[in-house]
């Protein structure tokens, strides 16, 4: 089973004010949790044997507050649980959520199915219908969800649904070399171009920022993010549909991001792309592997000798001929082929075929 999130834009011109009101109330619950936690920490520092409040404790302390805050009681409980989970994960007290001012937290109203009914193109919360643009059908079992706000102040409704992993995969095998100028080069020679939205919109963004037009700047940023996500979805879906083995190089964006290539690396969104490939493969019961890609720029995929270009200078060499066997290589396709080979070994080992 996989959990996938369906996200829809809420028709918020009329209902947005109700969501904003709910969001303020949610922040109040959250901030109450923060205050309770801080108080417990303060007392413990003072030598009192105080344990940290659990989600259960917080829920108990919040009993009866839902009606007063105009929230569903399940929403209050979900916030308490999320608070405790976030605190335990990061091992420190989360921050307060400001409802107003420059550091305002983006609106967030979590719910569980008991508090929410999906009725056609409307999400019914506390008897109020929040209509949304239903751009696709909702599949699977609805487990949890939330109303969320983006930087532009627009509202979205998200439904996390559990779906069966029953999509069919192709029978191909593919190695993928992630790069800066080209997002992904595949072992079959195909490419996924990096959409340089940031570059494309950079000027407009800079101009808007300098002119102090915050709203416009946020709109451009949101546009960039949406276009990039769409591009990555389309590309990863095409790869997941066609292949039963997907191998991606483990090149680390953080290592390269220290250099002046940082912007391009971040723009290329490697980690997002990997995540999409991973869960799309899982839904199709395909195998997804990340393989070590050291040496792949120097090793020949035909004869296995280290006959390729070396060092950082070599990064500029796109085509080369193997010293040993004379094979002509496109650097990135060669890397992708080696990645596929090493991924096959990993996949075989993990399924136990090679272990005997």
Interacting residues toward Zn ion by CB under 5 A? 300, 302-303, 322, 324-325, 327
Q: Which is nearer to Zn ion, 64 or 304 (CB)?
A: 304
Least CB distance to Zn ion at residue 328 (A): 10
Dist CA 252 CA 266 (whole Å): 11
Tell the burial category of 45 from Cβ atoms under 10 Å away from its Cβ (0-12, 13-18, 19+): exposed
Least CB distance to Zn ion at residue 306 (A): 9
Dist CA 29 CA 40 (whole Å): 17
Region of 147 on the Ramachandran plot (φ > 0 left; ψ -120 to 50 alpha; else beta): beta
Q: Strands 122-125 and 128-131, how do they pair?
A: antiparallel
Q: Which is nearer to Zn ion, 24 or 327 (CB)?
A: 327
On the CB side of 152, CA atoms within 13 Å amount to: 17
Vertex 290: Cα angle to 285 and 296 (nearest 5): 135
Please report, for residues 11, 46, 86, 120, the alpha-carbon distance to residue 136 in angstroms, rounded to integers and kept in the order given.
16, 55, 31, 11
Dist CA 68 CA 269 (whole Å): 43
Q: Which is nearer to Zn ion, 165 or 324 (CB)?
A: 324
Dist CA 129 CA 147 (whole Å): 13
Least CB distance to Zn ion at residue 8 (A): 52
Dist CA 30 CA 45 (whole Å): 23
Least CB distance to Zn ion at residue 324 (A): 5
Least CB distance to Zn ion at residue 323 (A): 7
Q: Which is nearer to Zn ion, 61 or 327 (CB)?
A: 327
Q: Which is nearer to Zn ion, 87 or 331 (CB)?
A: 331
Q: Which is nearer to Zn ion, 85 or 325 (CB)?
A: 325
Q: Which is nearer to Zn ion, 234 or 303 (CB)?
A: 303
Least CB distance to Zn ion at residue 298 (A): 11
């Amino acid at each position: 089973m996989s959990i996938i999130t369906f996200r829809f834009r809420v028709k918020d011109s009329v209902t947005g004010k109700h969501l904003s009101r709910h969001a303020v109330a949610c922040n109040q619950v959250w901030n109450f949790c923060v205050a309770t936690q801080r108080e417990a920490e303060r007392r413990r520092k003072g030598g009192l044997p105080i344990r940290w409040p659990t989600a259960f404790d917080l829920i108990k302390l919040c009993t009866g507050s839902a009606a007063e805050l105009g929230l569903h009681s399940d929403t209050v409980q979900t916030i308490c649980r999320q608070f405790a989970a976030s605190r335990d994960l990061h091992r420190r007290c989360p921050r307060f959520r400001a409802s107003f001012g420059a550091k305002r937290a983006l609106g967030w109203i979590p719910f569980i199915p008991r508090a929410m009914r999906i009725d056609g193109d409307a999400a019914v919360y506390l008897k109020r219908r929040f209509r949304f643009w239903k751009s696709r059908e909702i599949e699977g079992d609805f487990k949890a969800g939330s109303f969320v706000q983006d930087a532009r102040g627009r509202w979205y409704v998200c439904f996390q649904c559990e779906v069966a992993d029953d999509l069919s995969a192709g029978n191909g095998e593919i190695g993928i070399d992630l790069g800066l100028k080209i997002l992904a080069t595949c072992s079959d020679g195909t490419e996924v171009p990096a959409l340089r939205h940031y570059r494309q919109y950079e000027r407009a963004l800079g101009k808007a920022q300098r002119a102090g037009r915050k709203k416009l700047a946020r709109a451009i940023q949101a546009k960039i993010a949406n276009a990039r996500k769409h591009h990555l979805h389309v590309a990863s879906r095409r790869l997941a549909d066609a292949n039963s083995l997907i191998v991606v190089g483990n090149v680390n964006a953080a290592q390269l991001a220290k250099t002046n290539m940082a912007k391009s690396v971040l723009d290329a969104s490697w980690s997002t792309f990997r995540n999409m490939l991973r869960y799309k493969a899982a839904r199709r019961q395909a195998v997804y592997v990340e393989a070590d890609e050291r040496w792949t720029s120097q090793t020949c995929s035909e004869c296995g000798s280290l006959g390729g270009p070396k060092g950082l200078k070599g990064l500029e060499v796109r085509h080369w001929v193997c010293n040993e066997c004379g094979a002509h290589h496109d650097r990135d396709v060669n890397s992708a082929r080696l990645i596929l080979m090493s991924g096959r070994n990993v996949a075989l080992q993990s399924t136990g075929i090679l272990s005997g």
